[in-house]
Structures are given as structure tokens and as C-alpha cells.
Amino acid sequence: MIFMLENLKKSVCDANLELVKRGVVIYTWGNVSGISEDRKYMVIKPSGVDYDGMTLEDMVVVDVKTGVKVEGKWNPSSDTKTHLELYKKYSSIKGIAHTHSVNAVAFAQAGIKIPALGTTHADYFYGDIPCTRELTQQEVMEDYETNTGKVIIETIENAQYDPMAIPGIVVKNHGPFAWGKNPENAVYNAVVLEKVAEIDLKTIMLNPNAEMKSYILDKHYMRKHGPNAYYGQGK
């Protein structure tokens, strides 16, 4: 188990540093986590610690069931409870990335979904990237981070879609969360989410009535992710 967690800590640390490399975080903004194979432990970035000089020794291990820190010299990210809610609900999620990337946050602050307008979007997200409702005052005051996770789950469940088919969301007034099959994949999806948000903003400026037909969405998503996918060099 110790060896497995060391590998996970390295993976999570590398994924956090990738956020910086890809330009979707600055200073101490954002965080990435990963979950152990037995889903008993989560490794996450520490709270308020700058990315510059960050190593795997800075990563924090949290018990998934209790939310208690079990290893690490720092406090875990303030978004820890949000990550835990998603891991406990969806066994397919094995990595989560949260950023405050500019274009995705613009959609979150506007309270607007990121619509599927083109094939770049369709290659990675099988439909519009939703925006959650805003949290109530009571939800914020009672347990803000847990309820942020719950409102993400509420949005997914109400729309009845596979979270791995649309591996990201924007939380109203807050920002984007993305997830994947591991921490690296979660970061990848977070970066793509930011890019399609940027493309959408420019598209809507040029044509507020822009749209993409569902058969184009289906074709592009399925040729890459469907049962008969043929994109790339095979598996």
C-alpha cells in the first residue's frame, strides 16, 4: 500500500504541475487529486501552497471514508470535500482537477453551460458541459465544499448522463471541475474544457446563434470513444 501511495503521490504531484505548464492555473489556484486502487485513500494538493518547487512530499493523503488527513505535513486543499463527494458517488472517476481558468470561469460566473458547437468539443465531451445551479445561502453556510460536490452530482443525476462521457462541469459563480481515469487524464480534460470554452466565447461573439447538429456530435464522439472507435492507432 505504501508503494502504491508513493506512485499515486508522484502522479498527483506531476498532474498539479501540468496545470501550471498548460497555463490553466497561477499562484496557488486550483488542485488535482487521485484515488487509490482500493478507493480507501485520496491524494491531493495541499491548501494554499505555491506550485513553484512543489514535490511529491508536499502531497496530502486523506481517508476517503472519514475525510481525515492520514499523511502529510500540510493541510489538504480546501476543496477536499468536493473531491471526496465525487469519488464516493462515481467509481469510474479516478482523478479530479479543479482550476480557475479564465474562459471556463467566465461561463461559470455567467451561469451558462459551455455548449457543444463544434467537433473540437465533440471529440472529448459528448454534449454541452453543464453549469450547476447556484448554492443556497444555507448550503454555503452549512458545508460549502461538501455541498459543492453535491450540486455537481445533482446536476449530473438530473440530466441522467454518464459523467465519463462529459468529464467536466462548471459550478455557478465558482469555476470548472474536470475528472478522468487518472489524475493525468483529469488534467487533460480540464485543459480541453478551458480551450473549448475559449473557442465558444469567440464563436458566440461572431454568431450568437451558432449550433452543431447532433449527428456531427455523435460521429465525432463515437469515432473516438464508441464501441467501434477508429481514431488513432488502436488500443
Report the catalytic residues: 123, 231
Residues 6+ apart with CB under 8 A from 144: 135
Q: 73, 47 in Cβ contact below 8 A?
A: no
CA distances to 94, 184, 186, 187 from 221, in Å: 21, 20, 18, 19
| Rounded distance between C-alpha atoms, residue 13 and residue 32, angstroms | 8
The helix or strand, by DSSP H or E, that contains position 196, with its residue range, turns out to be: helix 183-206
**What are the DSSP calls for 63-83, one per residue?**
ETTT--EEE-SSPBPTTHHHH
Residue with cell 460536490: 149
